[in-house]
């Protein structure tokens, strides 16, 4: 016992010594080479423009800190939407691969094998080239729908002009969703008590969509569109989706979906065949058997590896540098180059990704604990 | 992947003990037997680009070759590290390269805060704009609302934002790190405008555009961009060698010394030429080099004018402000005596 304590303390001291050596040596080298250090640069004017911003407004006169914030917001935007897309697409492909339809199953298999075996960076270049090389310039943009323009500057979409009613509609939507959840809980309690089933899904959908629609009409259906128009070099007005964002989002979603598909397939296949048969013999319809018996068991196997995929997608979004999407790494790189403070910059990048990754892990672990076997030894 | 290079640089800084300080760059270079020179990895024709045989050519490359000729008497004892705009300073700071000769603008921020010193100017440049002819743009003042392709971490990126701000115009930047990728974006029409130093515009238009005549360079030059080699701060001896190797090339042009005639001229009676070629005096020794250092540079690499003729003239560059001072340009070397 005593000896083990001695070794542990020795190891800790050695690790501390190594760390101290690196930190002090770096500081000394920076000092002797007259390289600026410290985080004071964060408050200085950045002086460069950023192509697209999420939530935060930004101009060249803003600080480096704000520029990094814009980069972080851009990373979040692509990662969040990417996770949703990849999950939906991956689940569909994974289930398709289990389909009894030969063609569907084989197509899904080809998708998985092709997408997960080509490096992501190559795929990003591919999608970016497809968009910027094949689409026409803004002056002869394609217009598949009125007000929607497709060009090598991206997709320009019409946006509803803000109206006082929209706040109320949003409120109605929240209320509707709350109502839907209430209806589901009530239907569940009723079924437990009486055995009678209610179509709670349809009732919920009706509440969630019906309430906002009713409010919309009560206000006299106010709808005006801010349509994009070609003025000078580019489209102005409406909303725009840049080719860089589209290529990055598409590339990340499609690539990660291939891995998610395999995880979903593995999860479903791992559920014992007897469970299907047991559900059948109880007389449960196939869809309800899937939802009530198979999926809850499959999820326990799916969630932990899925967490890894979400983390991968978020970290892979740093490949944005290559195709010019202004994510955190891209902005931090520019900042480092202009201030020369690579160590601080790398430190910020590492800290931010660590924080994001640990947060995702924490959320997924919480979810995993919720769906895990109750009372099981953990 | 760029980040990997940066992390590596940071780690190198953590490891590089006082050793790098104790041993001078000249000693280290002589010991390993070659000069490690950081050049433009984007293959910027005329400045640094490998030819069809894989041999690096250009005036930035000639600066490296000149240093090798001065140190070793052999201009070929150079190894090249191709760098992006973002990697270049970390590579120099961490000791990965001995000299950075990569069309890099000399600014006070870089000189004072990056731990590097600029050793002179090898090309006086300025930032300009290139647009497709079919857009019918005649002046940079008409660029309001344009999408502009630019490389990150450059003075170009900052001047661009300044220029549009000063003229109350807006623009959308598309920021891509590597030169080939940013040029692809411009030539495929993703951007309306490509901006970099005018030399870069002329060079890429001549060597990369599918049809060079389809692109025009606008008349406005919005900044001063003196490009030159840089070394690490704190090694004055090496700084002197790099500085005077460049000056020797400029001085030789002024003295009429070329790779063809310098050996002959060295035998003549002109005391300035004899001093330059190392036949008399001990300038080389003062620099810690062989006394024939300058003769070796000119004989093997050529003078500044020869380098310009060989690499930049064919691409359509004029001497312009890069002519010698006596011809109305800015190229001026302090006396070599």
Q: CA torsion sign, B142 to B144 to B147 to B149?
A: positive
SS (H, E, C) chain B: CHHHHHHHHHHHHHHCCCHHHHCCHHHHHHHHCCEEEEEECCCECCCEEECCCCCEECHHHHHHHHHHHHHHCCCCCEEEEEECCCCHHHHHHCCCCCEECCCCECCHHHHHHECEEECCCCEEECEEEEEEHHHCCCCHHHCCCEEEEECCCCHHHHHHHHHHHHCCCCEEEEECCCHHHHHHHHHCCCCCEEEEEHHHHHHHHHHHCCCHHHEEECCCCCCCEEECCEEECCCHHHHHHHHHHHHHHHHHHHHCCCCCCHHHHHCCCCHHHHHHHCCCCCHHHHHCCCCCHHHHHHHHCCCHHHHHHHHCHHHCCCCHHHCEHHHCCCECCCCCC
CA distance B172 to B182: 14
CA distance B277 to A204: 92
Range of the domain at A190: 165-219
CA distance B323 to A119: 49
Residues A264 and A251 in one domain: yes
What pLDDT does residue A206 have?
86
pLDDT band at residue A227 under the 50/70/90 scheme? confident
What pLDDT does residue A240 have?
82
In this predicted structure, the answer to whether residue B19 has a pLDDT above a threshold of 70 is no
Question: What does pLDDT average to over chain A?
Answer: 87
Element spanning A41, H or E: none
What pLDDT does residue B221 have?
92
Residues A267 and A155 in one domain: yes
CA distance A235 to A229: 5
Query: Region B129-151: what's the mean pLDDT?
Result: 92
Query: Region B41-48: what's the mean pLDDT?
Result: 87
Residues A211 and A230 in one domain: no
- Chain A: closest CA distance from residue B33 (Å): 25
CA distance A117 to A254: 12
Residues A112 and A232 in one domain: yes
Query: Region A21-32: what's the mean pLDDT?
Result: 83
Q: Collect all residues of chain A within an 8 Å Cβ-Cβ radius of residue B86.
A: 333-334, 336-337
- Chain A: closest CA distance from residue B208 (Å): 16
Residues A215 and A319 in one domain: no
Residues A342 and A362 in one domain: yes
CA distance B139 to B33: 51
What pLDDT does residue B3 have?
52
Fold exhibited by the domain B2-124+227-320: D-Maltodextrin-Binding Protein; domain 2 (3.40.190)
Residues A200 and A345 in one domain: no
Q: CA torsion sign, A213 to A214 to A215 to A219?
A: positive
CB A266 within 8 Å of CB B213: no
Q: Collect all residues of chain B within an 8 Å Cβ-Cβ radius of residue A232.
A: 144-146
CB A88 within 8 Å of CB A253: no
In this predicted structure, the answer to whether residue A231 has a pLDDT above a threshold of 90 is no
For residue B123, report the phi and psi dihedrals to the nearest 5 degrees.
-160, 125
Closest CA to B307 of B119, B37, B64: B64
- Chain B: closest CA distance from residue A35 (Å): 5
DSSP summary character for residue A290: I
Q: Which residue is listed with tokens 């609302």?
A: B145
Other beta carbons less than 10 A from residue A259's beta carbon: 21
Secondary structure class of A156 (helix, strand, coil): strand
- CB A234 to CB B177 under 8 A? no
CATH number of the domain that residue A325 is part of: 1.10.3720.10
pLDDT band at residue A336 under the 50/70/90 scheme? confident
- Chain A: closest CA distance from residue B303 (Å): 33
In this predicted structure, the answer to whether residue B12 has a pLDDT above a threshold of 80 is no
Dig out the tokens for A348 from the structure. Answer: 């910020």
Give the chain A residue nearest B165 (alpha carbons): A60
Q: What is the Rg, in whole angstroms, of the alpha carbon atoms belonging to chain B?
A: 21
The residue ranking higher by pLDDT, A304 or B153, is A304
DSSP summary character for residue A244: H
Please report whether residue A283 resides in a domain: yes
- CB A231 to CB B173 under 8 A? no
- Chain A: closest CA distance from residue B114 (Å): 5
Residues A140 and A231 in one domain: yes
Q: Report the share of chain A in percent with pLDDT over 90.
A: 39
CB B10 within 8 Å of CB A342: yes
pLDDT band at residue B1 under the 50/70/90 scheme? very low
Element spanning A157, H or E: strand A154-157
What pLDDT does residue A228 have?
83
Q: For B145, which of A232, A321, A333 is closest by C-beta distance?
A: A232
CA distance B326 to B255: 11
- CB A33 to CB B185 under 8 A? no
Q: How many domains does chain A have?
A: 2
Superfamily of domain B127-223: Periplasmic binding protein-like II (3.40.190.10)
Residues A275 and A230 in one domain: yes
Closest CA to A280 of A290, A295, A270, A271: A290
Residue B126 contacts A, CB cutoff 8 Å: no
Residues found in chain B = 337
In this predicted structure, the answer to whether residue B7 has a pLDDT above a threshold of 70 is no
- pLDDT tens per residue across span B93-117: 889 999 999 999 999 989 988 889 9
- pLDDT tens per residue across span B176-208: 888 888 998 999 888 999 999 999 999 899 888
pLDDT band at residue A97 under the 50/70/90 scheme? very high
pLDDT band at residue B6 under the 50/70/90 scheme? low
In this predicted structure, the answer to whether residue B154 has a pLDDT above a threshold of 70 is yes
Specify the pTM. Answer: 0.79
In this predicted structure, the answer to whether residue A303 has a pLDDT above a threshold of 60 is yes
B residues 246..305 contacting A (CB < 8 A): none
Question: What does pLDDT average to over chain B?
Answer: 90
Query: Region A290-309: what's the mean pLDDT?
Result: 88
Residues A150 and A239 in one domain: yes
What pLDDT does residue B15 have?
59
ipTM for this model:
0.75
In this predicted structure, the answer to whether residue B18 has a pLDDT above a threshold of 50 is no
Q: Which residue is listed with tokens 């997960």?
A: A116
Q: Collect all residues of chain B within an 8 Å Cβ-Cβ radius of residue A60.
A: 161-162, 165
Residues A122 and A260 in one domain: yes
Decide if B2-124+227-320 and B127-223 have a common fold. yes
Closest CA to A323 of A245, A263, A266, A230: A245
Dig out the tokens for B76 from the structure. Answer: 């070929």
Please report whether residue A6 resides in a domain: no
Q: Collect all residues of chain A within an 8 Å Cβ-Cβ radius of residue B175.
A: 51, 324, 326, 330, 334
Q: For B86, which of A30, A36, A333 is closest by C-beta distance?
A: A333
Domain boundaries of chain B, sorted by first residue: 2-124+227-320, 127-223
What pLDDT does residue B250 have?
97
What pLDDT does residue A201 have?
78
Query: Region A130-148: what's the mean pLDDT?
Result: 84
pLDDT band at residue A378 under the 50/70/90 scheme? very low
Query: Region A160-168: what's the mean pLDDT?
Result: 79
Q: Which residues have CB under 8 Å from A368's CB, separation 6+?
A: A300, A303, A304, A307
Residues A272 and A228 in one domain: yes
Please report whether residue A189 resides in a domain: yes
SS (H, E, C) A310-335: HHHHHHHHHHHHHHCCCCHHHHHHHH
Least confident of A209-213, B299-303, B330-334: A209-213
CB A328 within 8 Å of CB A54: no
Q: Report the share of chain B in percent with pLDDT over 90.
A: 71
Q: Collect all residues of chain B within an 8 Å Cβ-Cβ radius of residue A315.
A: none
Most confident of A125-139, A170-184, B299-313: B299-313
- pLDDT tens per residue across span B214-243: 999 999 999 999 999 999 998 999 999 999
CB B204 within 8 Å of CB B44: yes
What pLDDT does residue B256 have?
95
Which of A18, A21, A48 is the mutation pick for testing B, counting most B CBs within 10 A?
A48
CB B216 within 8 Å of CB B139: no
Q: For B6, which of A49, A318, A346 is closest by C-beta distance?
A: A346
For residue B194, report the phi and psi dihedrals to the nearest 5 degrees.
-115, 130
Give the chain A residue nearest B20 (alpha carbons): A29
Based on the number of CB atoms within 10 Å of its own CB, is B82 exposed (0-12), middle (13-18) or buried (19 or more)? Answer: middle
Please report whether residue A313 resides in a domain: yes
């Amino acid at each position: 016992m005593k000896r083990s304590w001695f070794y542990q303390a020795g190891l800790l001291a050695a690790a501390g010594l190594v760390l101290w050596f690196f930190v002090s040596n770096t500081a000394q080298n920076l000092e002797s080479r007259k390289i600026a250090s410290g985080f004071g640069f964060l408050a200085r004017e950045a002086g460069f423009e950023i192509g697209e911003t999420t939530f935060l407004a930004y101009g060249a006169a803003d600080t480096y800190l704000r520029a990094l914030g814009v980069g972080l917001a851009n990373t979040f935007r692509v990662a969040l939407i990417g996770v949703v897309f990849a999950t939906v697409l991956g689940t569909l492909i994974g289930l398709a691969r289990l389909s009894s339809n030969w063609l569907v199953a084989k197509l899904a298999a080809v998708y998985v094998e092709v997408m997960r075996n080509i490096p992501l960076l190559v795929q990003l270049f591919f999608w970016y080239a497809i968009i910027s090389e094949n689409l026409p310039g803004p002056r002869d943009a394609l217009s598949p729908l009125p007000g929607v323009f497709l060009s090598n500057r991206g997709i320009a979409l019409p946006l509803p002009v803000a109206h006082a009613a929209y706040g109320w509609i949003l409120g109605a939507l929240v209320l509707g969703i709350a109502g839907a959840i209430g209806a589901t809980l009530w239907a569940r309690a009723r079924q437990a008590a009486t055995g009678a089933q209610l179509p709670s899904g349809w009732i919920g959908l009706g509440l969630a969509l019906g309430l906002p629609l009713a409010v919309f009409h009560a206000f006299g259906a106010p709808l005006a569109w801010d349509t994009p128009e070609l003025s000078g070099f580019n489209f102005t007005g409406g909303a725009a989706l840049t080719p860089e964002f589209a290529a990055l989002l598409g590339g990340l979603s499609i690539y990660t979906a291939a891995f998610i598909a395999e995880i979903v397939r593995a999860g479903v296949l791992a559920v014992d065949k007897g469970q299907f048969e047991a559900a059948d013999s109880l007389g449960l319809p196939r869809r309800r058997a899937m939802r009530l018996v198979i999926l809850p068991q499959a999820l326990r196997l799916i969630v932990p590896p899925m967490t890894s995929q979400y983390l991968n997608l978020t970290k892979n979004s740093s490949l944005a540098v290559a195709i010019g999407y202004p994510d955190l790494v891209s902005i931090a790189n520019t900042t480092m180059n202009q201030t020369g403070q690579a160590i601080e910059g790398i430190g910020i990048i590492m800290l931010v990704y660590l924080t994001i990754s640990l947060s995702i892990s924490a959320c997924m672990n919480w979810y995993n604990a919720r769906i895990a076997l109750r009372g099981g030894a953990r | 992947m760029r980040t990997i290079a940066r992390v590596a640089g940071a780690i190198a800084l953590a490891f590089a003990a006082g050793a790098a300080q104790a041993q001078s760059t000249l000693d280290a270079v002589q010991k390993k037997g070659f000069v490690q020179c950081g050049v433009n990895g984007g293959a910027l024709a005329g400045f640094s680009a490998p030819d069809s045989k894989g041999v690096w050519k250009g005036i930035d490359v000639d600066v490296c070759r000149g240093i090798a000729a001065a140190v070793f008497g052999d201009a070929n004892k150079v190894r090249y590290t191709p760098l992006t705009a973002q990697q270049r300073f970390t590579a120099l700071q961490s000791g990965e390269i001995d000299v950075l000769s990569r069309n890099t603008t000399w600014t006070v921020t870089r000189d004072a805060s990056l731990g590097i010193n600029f050793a002179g100017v090898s090309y006086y440049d300025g930032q300009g704009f290139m647009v497709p002819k079919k857009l019918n743009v005649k002046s940079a003042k008409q660029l309001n609302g344009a999408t502009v392709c630019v490389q990150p971490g450059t003075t170009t990126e900052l001047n661009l934002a300044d220029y549009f701000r000063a003229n109350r115009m807006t623009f959308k930047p598309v920021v891509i790190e590597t030169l080939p990728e940013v040029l692809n974006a411009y030539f495929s029409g993703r951007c309306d405008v490509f901006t970099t130093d005018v030399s870069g515009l002329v060079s890429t238009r001549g060597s990369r555009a599918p049809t060079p005549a389809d692109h025009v360079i606008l008349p406005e030059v919005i900044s001063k961009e003196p490009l030159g080699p840089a070394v690490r701060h704190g090694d004055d001896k090496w700084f002197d060698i790099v500085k005077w190797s460049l000056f020797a090339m400029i001085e030789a042009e002024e003295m009429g010394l070329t790779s063809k005639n310098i050996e002959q001229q060295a035998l003549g009676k002109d005391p300035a030429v004899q001093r330059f070629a190392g036949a008399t005096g001990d300038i080389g020794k003062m620099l810690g080099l062989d006394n024939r250092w300058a003769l070796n540079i000119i004989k093997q690499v050529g003078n500044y004018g020869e380098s310009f003729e060989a690499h930049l003239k064919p691409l359509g560059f004029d001497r312009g402000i890069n002519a010698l001072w006596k011809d109305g340009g800015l190229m001026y070397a302090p006396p070599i005596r």
